[in-house]
Amino acid sequence: MEEVKDRSRWPILIIVVMSTFMSALDSSIVNVALPKMARALGVTTSNIQLVATSYLIVIVGTVLIFGRLGDILGKTKMFKFGLGLFTFGSLLCGITGSFLILIIARVIQAIGAAGTMANSQGIITEIFPANERGKALGFAGTAVALGSLVGPGLGGVIVGASSWEFIFLINVPIGLVALFYAFKLLPKGHKTAKGKMDSIGAILFMFTIVPLFVALSEGLNRGFTDPIILLGFAVAIVCFIAFIFVEKKRESPLIQLQMFQNKLFSLSIFCGFISFVAIFCSNIIQPFYLQDVMSYTPQHTGLILMTYPLILTVIAPVSGHLSDKIGSEILTFIGLMFISVGLLLMATLDQKSTLLSMMIFIGIVSIGMGLFQSPNNSLVMSTVSKDKLGIAGSINALIRNLGMVSGIALATTLLYNGMSSKIGHRVTDYVAGRNDAFIYGMRTVYITASIICFVGTLLTFLRLIGNKTKKGQ
């Protein structure tokens, strides 16, 4: 990629961050609007969930393909294509009155989002020198986390003030402005990796991810022992084994598995996954707790949940800047420790908890997330060579989305299993008058999420100690 002038770097970063923010925002902004959309489009509550899940499934199924295409054809080219497609998909979502067209539009939107997500970190890593990279990736990491966390609150405000279509239409003017400046400012980038697209690997990967995600998201409704759900898991496992086998034999694979031999890369990717599992366990539970148990209105709930993104906005850029100065590894360790402790404190919440204690606990988790995300992104991207930046960024995006869906599936499964055992029969919804059962299930979710996060903390600590020992020798 051609040299970028100093003064062009930050405007380019704004374009990339804006696009990444919108792509992440659309994974969570629809959740609050789903009941209203179901009534407007005349579909059932279980069917309307497709609006949310189809978006995540398509992103995860295609993000690696766009990462590889970015390395072969040019990251800028794929980024602009993705941004244009996402904007068009958003327009289509906002003007349709048909449920089928809405789902097709969400798929178009998701393919576009995958194009921007897969190549944004690679573009940033290429245009920023090593001494500014942590700070720049910090802003990008903040945009992703912010998009995911602002969604429910912003969605509630938009749906309360106007119709659900504006949730999608708000993207169109922002997308067009970003696209205009992307064509004007982004470097053309002629340096590309040699090799062809691994079509067989791409197909096998899609047949791994799509059945896995569908089985995870539908498992709660049908039960995880349902034959169709078990078939989904079986297809995913068989295709994954075949994918690994094919990738080892290919000359130009979709993923070069040797990347995972780098312990720093693998551990950073794993910790990134853990952090999103933990945070989305909390994300899916918190609105129910605030509205059903504590009787807050949707608007109040949205305002309380805004604590996450507000703290994150302050902490993440600072953390990215610090990672350039003192290194990323110590910050990832401190960040994961904060998240683990915060989630454990969340497990103490009940019907008598005060708003202040709740805000303090949310604040601790948010500080941890802010300290962790930017340095972890920086670690992932700094461990690979320039010709693999596209695929490394897309693996990072893939793991993030996998973590989100896994967190939602884990939280809802633990919550309703806990409630069912407390009540004495199977439940898959909040039971009025049985706050005790909800608190019991919620406690299980938070303790489990905290333990998962603590495993990541421990692994990061062991890596820190190992590196200090090596330096001391």
Tens digits of per-residue pLDDT, 13-59? 888 888 888 888 887 788 767 777 877 888 776 677 778 878 888 88
In 327-434, alpha helices (H): 329-346, 355-382, 389-423
Q: How far is CA 10 from the centre of its chain?
A: 24
| Element (DSSP H or E) covering residue 98 | none
Statement: residue 259 has pLDDT above 50: yes
Give the Cβ contact number of residue 47 at 10 Å. Answer: 13
Model confidence at 472, pLDDT cuts 50, 70, 90, reads low
Among positive and negative, which fits the CA dihedral 243, 253, 376, 217?
negative
Residue ranges covered by each domain of the chain? 6-197+254-467, 198-253
d(CA 305, CA 355) in angstroms, rounded, equals 12
Q: Say which range, 32-41, 270-279, 334-343, has the weakest mean pLDDT.
A: 32-41
Given a contact cutoff of 8 angstroms between Cβ atoms, the answer to whether 73 and 192 are in contact is yes
d(CA 141, CA 121) in angstroms, rounded, equals 9
Tokens matching residue 5: 């002038």
d(CA 296, CA 299) in angstroms, rounded, equals 8
Taking residues 248-260, report their average pLDDT: 81
d(CA 313, CA 265) in angstroms, rounded, equals 26
User: Which among 190, 200, 185 has a CA at the least distance from the CA of 9?
Assistant: 185
| Element (DSSP H or E) covering residue 74 | none
Buried b (16+ CB within 10 A) or exposed e, 223-239: eeeeeebeebbebbeeb
Model confidence at 109, pLDDT cuts 50, 70, 90, reads very high
Task: Using DSSP, state whether 192 is helix, strand or coil.
Answer: coil
Thinking of the domain 6-197+254-467, which architecture would CATH place it in? Up-down Bundle (1.20)
Task: Using DSSP, state whether 341 is helix, strand or coil.
Answer: helix
Per residue in 146-190, pLDDT (tens digit) is: 777 777 777 777 877 778 888 899 889 999 999 998 888 887 765
Summarize the chain as % helix, strand, coil (round to 5): 85, 0, 15
pLDDT at 194: 63
Statement: residue 222 has pLDDT above 80: no
Q: Say which range, 189-193, 262-266, 368-372, 380-384, has the weakest mean pLDDT.
A: 189-193
User: Which among 340, 348, 328 has a CA at the least distance from the CA of 279?
Assistant: 340
Per residue in 406-462, pLDDT (tens digit) is: 887 788 888 888 888 888 887 766 677 788 888 999 999 999 999 999 998 998 888
Task: Using DSSP, state whether 351 is helix, strand or coil.
Answer: coil
Given a contact cutoff of 8 angstroms between Cβ atoms, the answer to whether 8 and 124 are in contact is no
d(CA 210, CA 231) in angstroms, rounded, equals 12
**DSSP string for residues in 30-54:** TGGGHHHHHHHHT--HHHHTHHHHH
What letter does residue 384 receive in the DSSP assignment? S
pLDDT at 2: 45
Q: Which residue has the higher pLDDT, 270 or 149?
A: 270
Statement: residue 137 has pLDDT above 80: no
Among positive and negative, which fits the CA dihedral 3, 147, 329, 325?
positive
Residue partners of 19: CB distance under 8 A and separation at least 6: 79, 82, 83, 86, 116, 120, 175, 178, 182
d(CA 319, CA 377) in angstroms, rounded, equals 11
User: Which among 235, 258, 250 has a CA at the least distance from the CA of 200?
Assistant: 250
Given a contact cutoff of 8 angstroms between Cβ atoms, the answer to whether 45 and 168 are in contact is no
HSE-CB of 272 using CA atoms within 13 angstroms: 29
Given a contact cutoff of 8 angstroms between Cβ atoms, the answer to whether 80 and 162 are in contact is no
Tokens matching residue 282: 């909390």
